[in-house]
Amino acid sequence: MENNLFLTEMILSELSEIVGQDFVSDKESDKFIYSTDWAWMPQMWLDRGMPLRPPDFIVHPGSAEEISEILEIANKYRIPVVPWGGGSGTQGAALPIFGGILIDTKRMNKIVAIDEKSLTVTAQAGIIIAQLEWALNEKGFMLPHYAASSNCATLGGALAPRGTGTISTKYGKAEDMVLSMQIVLPTGEIIRTPPVPKHAAGPDWFRLFLGAEGNFGIITEATMQLDYLPEARLMRAVLFDDLDIALEVGRLIMTHRLNPLVIRLYDRESTVSQVKKVLGYEYDGAYMVMGFDGDPEIAALQEKKALKYCMDLGGRDLGRDPGEAWWEHRYDFYYPPKSLKLPWMYGTTETVTTYDKIANLYWAEKKAVEDGFADWNVKFIAHFSHWFHWGVMVYSRFIIEEPPQDAQEALRLHNRVWNAAMQAVMANGGMINEHHGVGLKLSRYMRKQYGEAWPLLLKIKKTIDPNGIMNPGKTGFGF
Amino acid sequence: MQLQTATATIENCRYCLMCRHVCPVGHVTRRETLTPHGWGLTIASVQRGLLTWNQDTVDVLYSCADCGTCRAHCVTDQPLPDAIVTNRAEVTAQHLAPAAAYEVHKALQEWSNPYEKQVPETVTGQAEIALFVGDDARYLRPTTLESALKLLEAASIKPILIGIGRSSGYLASSLGFPETAKMLVQTTLDELKASGARRMLVLTPGDYYAFDRLLADRLEVEWPRGVELEEVLSLLDKKYTAGVLKFKSSDDKRPFAYIDPTHSLRIPARYETPRRLLAGVMPAAGRELFWRKERMHPCGNGALQFMNPHISNHLTYARLADAQQTGAQVAITEDPGCLSHLNRHADRFRLQIQDLYELLADYLI
């Protein structure tokens, strides 16, 4: 686009006619800021003084109809379109790597309706989750998607990569809370998925849009399941000498359906580094936080039974304070300078698998990273934080405090560490990701992840987005 | 703030999105660039040679409202507004700031305020308590001052007025002219010293912030030892609670909402003070804005009104729209700058703006 100023100006005028001049920008300042999201790779690139490919236009539409018209222009001129919610993704899914039109959805931030009988909220997808939560709390409800990114991510941004939150163990991932969505397809049609997610009226096609990361269209509105604000919330911490035993305790709690809102189990390395740095506790072992909420009597009973599993397998009850402190400060881990930050190199290679495989997966990934990159003094830390009836997610991270200063060298090393981690994950029955999504970072693993099924996804992409304009280069789909 | 400290803050904030949800400028513009992360990354990228200070990027730098909301919500207390202002000072020193900044600065240097070509009145005399008047109460809304004085008199307090018509120094600091800010502050402190007062009252949270944190955090000016700084409203609240001040109940039955004035969240535990006083006068409980108390937003006054009236107006509209959505017909606040801005656009939102000081004074027994 930068080589064709005339065409750029023509397209700018067309976009302005749709959304108004105030809501389209080709300013250098805006293009620069929107050239990066929250992924380590582009941030490092800029940090080392290297510019990124910016979008050609940033558009702030006010409605699904406006988005539909923008997509018509994009199809007409074959221009890439990148949907943008909060830009808080870690996988580079919002990077405008081929330029084009970046659609920032945050103007579409209205709460459309709250159904106090069915306990649902319908909201435009550009609303920031924390703001939605405040509004719901004022009526005694909550959207139990308590993600670390709630302050910055949008509702659409929670659904598009199949995001999750701190209390997913009880309340589910964002995808489990959604009843229906309004979506603008890449070809401009505005569709609505069925009003309820559980039915037998044919295949569950609406789930195609969850995890598609904008490839199959832009989510513009969603109806989400709510919950009442809990009457009680009981937090507690337990320390284990052995991580594998702690994992077994977590499995027992889950498979016996004690319904914890959270189990957060830190490995020893996380306990002695992250937990100490943020919460100030000096424990040596595997620090487990667990919580139960809702009716006070039921929550107390659930906690009592869960604690018995802990004690029976040698856990040390640390009491309420370290549990409550964790709850109070659970997002502090993400505020600089407490968070991981540049110039360090880091990556979150989080994954999920079944209980029979999780311990092997963890140890295999840890070995692959630590042995493979010992020369770089790599650190491998992990916590297990989203538990299911059948398995658990491990939030594993690698950290290199003194990476190469050269941007290209650093990026290559980063990719090599990821390769080692992902190979270990896939070899041990894990998925390449549990909730951050695929984006640009994991795009190259999609074919291997899905094997024979991958061409089916390619065909679906080709059918829904015939001109390949939507978020090219992401989620494995290329351009 | 030293440039080195500012740079450390910028390095922390450039990729942090944790306060984006509370940034009022981000809300009204929807531009990622005009959020704390956007300002941080812009400054950091100029320092890395990826951007230069030009009309576009300098406009970005001057679009922050300097309201303190980001810092108030920061778990690690990053002084981003101070860091932005420090970088504005670098830009002004290089003569790269927008023309409006130099125009306001010239007025501040010459007249000590941005509104009138008039030098502040000279203060003489001594008293135990001084009241800093400032420029907004002098030129934008003198009735606020009259009402505050009437209320203080009812509490047997007769302060000497200082800083009549003089900017507190906040505006000059916010625009990136720390030396002028220091000059303005120092002149007021000299008047305070000459008055012999042991307590200085201020009319607004903005002025409280200016003589409290701003002095130490930005200007390296020491507040005079042994002198207490207090908001008039806080003092009135104490007198009301102690039974010294008494109010009759208003017969105005219209639903009302209180708007926390700009900079309120820079003053810890301030939120209940005006609400308690209001409860003493109004016949029913007030409606609460969505953006209230700890998540309050500025009213559009401050440096932004000169540097970017478009955003400043939208901040004002947002406050009025928030009040309107509560069903209120009357919006009440006490900062003369806020009152002036809100009044300008209130009709559009079918709201009547009421000065809290005037309201309290009207119902004094």
- The burial class, CB within 10 Å (0-12 / 13-18 / 19+), for A328 is exposed
- In this structure, the answer to whether residues B77 and B163 fall within a common structural domain is no
Chain B residues with CB under 8 Å of A54 CB are none
How many CB pairs (< 8 A) connect A and B? 103
- Residues B262/B265/B267/B272 CA torsion (nearest 10 deg): 100
Per-residue pLDDT at A365:
98
Say which amino acid occupies A425: V
pLDDT in tens, A271-304: 999 999 989 999 999 999 999 999 999 999 999 9
pLDDT in tens, B323-363: 999 999 999 999 999 999 999 999 999 999 999 999 999 99
Phi first, then psi: what are they for A234, rounded to 5°?
Answer: -105, 120
Domain presence at residue B101: no
Q: Which of B224, B240, B256 is the last residue of a domain?
A: B240
Q: Judge: B41–A46 Cβ closer than 8 Å, yes or no.
A: yes
Whether B2 shows a pLDDT value over 90: the answer reads no
Domain presence at residue B28: yes
CATH class for domain A345-441? alpha beta
- Give the residue-averaged pLDDT of A29-46: 98
- Longest distance between any two alpha carbons in chain A, whole Å: 74
| Angstrom distance (rounded) from CA B320 to CA B345 | 8
* Other CB atoms within 10 A of residue B116 CB: 14
Residue A318, both tokens: 């640390």
Q: Judge: A30–B33 Cβ closer than 8 Å, yes or no.
A: yes
Give the count of domains, chain B. Answer: 3
User: Which pLDDT band holds residue A2 (cuts at 50, 70, 90)?
Assistant: low
- In this structure, the answer to whether residues B226 and B254 fall within a common structural domain is no
In this complex, the residue of B21, B42, B76 whose CB is nearest that of residue A128 is: B21
Dihedral (CA of A430, A436, A442, A448) sign: positive
State the architecture of A232-334 in CATH terms.
2-Layer Sandwich (3.30)
User: Which pLDDT band holds residue B265 (cuts at 50, 70, 90)?
Assistant: very high
- In this structure, the answer to whether residues B251 and B192 fall within a common structural domain is no
SS3 readout for chain B: CCHHHHHHHHHHHCCCCCCHHHCHHHHHHCCHHHCHHHHHHHHHHHHCCCCCCCHHHHHHHCCCCCCCHHHHCCCCCCCHHHHHHHHHHHHHHCCCCCHHHHHHHHHHHHHCCCCCCCCCCCCCCCCCEEEEEECHHHHHCHHHHHHHHHHHHHCCCCCEEEEECCCCCHHHHHHCCHHHHHHHHHHHHHHHHHHCCCEEEECCHHHHHHHHHHHHHHHCCCCCCCCEEEEHHHHHHHHHHCCCCCECCCCCCCCEEECCCCCHHHCCCCCHHHHHHHHCCCCCCCECCCCCHHHCCCCCCCCHHHHCHHHHHHHHHHHHHHHHHCCCCEEEECCHHHHHHHHHHHHHHCCEEEEHHHHHHHCEC
Domain presence at residue B116: no
Domain presence at residue B21: yes
- In this structure, the answer to whether residues B226 and B278 fall within a common structural domain is no
Per-residue pLDDT at B119:
80
Name the CA radius of gyration of chain A, rounded: 23
Looking from the CA of A344 toward its CB, the CA atoms found within 13 Å total 17
The DSSP secondary-structure symbol of A470 reads B
Strands (DSSP E) found in A241-368: 262-266, 286-294, 316-319, 345-348, 351-354
- The CATH code of the domain that includes B358 is 3.40.50
| Angstrom distance (rounded) from CA A293 to CA A162 | 24
pLDDT in tens, A169-199: 999 999 999 999 999 999 999 999 999 999 9
What Cα–Cα distance (Å) separates residue A322 from each residue in A307, B116, B192? 15, 58, 49
Per-residue pLDDT at B268:
83
Q: Judge: B50–A104 Cβ closer than 8 Å, yes or no.
A: no
Q: Judge: B12–A341 Cβ closer than 8 Å, yes or no.
A: yes
User: Which pLDDT band holds residue A3 (cuts at 50, 70, 90)?
Assistant: low
CATH of domain A1-229+442-479: 3.30.465.10
Per-residue pLDDT at B252:
95
In this complex, the residue of A34, A51, A150 whose CB is nearest that of residue B32 is: A34
Which helix or strand (DSSP H or E) is residue A218 part of?
A: strand A218-225
Q: Of A428, A368, A427, which Cα lies nearest the Cα of A398?
A: A368
Entry field: residues in chain B: 365
- Give the residue-averaged pLDDT of A3-14: 91
| Angstrom distance (rounded) from CA A360 to CA A454 | 27
User: Which pLDDT band holds residue B118 (cuts at 50, 70, 90)?
Assistant: confident
Residue B207 in contact with residue B134, Cβ under 8 Å? yes
Angle at A376 between CA A371 and CA A379, to 5 degrees: 65
Range of the domain at B280: 244-362
Q: Judge: A49–B56 Cβ closer than 8 Å, yes or no.
A: no
- In this structure, the answer to whether residues B91 and B137 fall within a common structural domain is no
| Angstrom distance (rounded) from CA A36 to CA A93 | 10
Inter-axis angle of helices B3-13 and B36-47, to 10 degrees?
A: 120
- Give the residue-averaged pLDDT of A312-329: 97
Per-residue pLDDT at A1:
56
Whether A412 shows a pLDDT value over 70: the answer reads yes
Q: Of A55, A57, A75, A61, which Cα lies nearest the Cα of A220?
A: A61
pLDDT in tens, A102-161: 999 999 999 999 999 999 999 999 999 999 999 999 999 999 999 999 999 999 999 999
Residue A222 in contact with residue A269, Cβ under 8 Å? no
- In this structure, the answer to whether residues B230 and B287 fall within a common structural domain is no
Domain presence at residue B250: yes
- What does pLDDT average to over chain B? 96
| Spans of all domains in chain A | 1-229+442-479, 232-334, 345-441
Residue A128, both tokens: 């920031």
Domain presence at residue B91: yes
| Angstrom distance (rounded) from CA B6 to CA B48 | 15
Name the CA radius of gyration of chain B, rounded: 20
- In this prediction, the answer to ipTM > 0.90 reads yes
Per-residue pLDDT at A236:
98
pLDDT in tens, A217-268: 999 999 999 999 999 999 999 999 999 999 999 999 999 999 999 999 999 9
Report the b/e string of B56-82 with b at 16+ CB within 10 A: bbbbbbbbbbbbbbbbbbbbeebbbbb
Percent of chain A with pLDDT over 70: 99
Question: Which A residues 21-50 touch B at CB under 8 Å?
Answer: 23, 25, 27-30, 32-34, 36, 38, 43, 46-47, 49
Residue B325 in contact with residue B207, Cβ under 8 Å? no
pLDDT in tens, B49-95: 999 999 999 999 999 999 999 999 999 999 999 999 999 999 999 99
Question: Which A residues 133-192 touch B at CB under 8 Å?
Answer: 134-135, 138, 149-152
- In this structure, the answer to whether residues B199 and B304 fall within a common structural domain is no
* Bridge partners (DSSP) listed for residue A25: A58
Per-residue pLDDT at A26:
97
Per-residue pLDDT at A4:
86
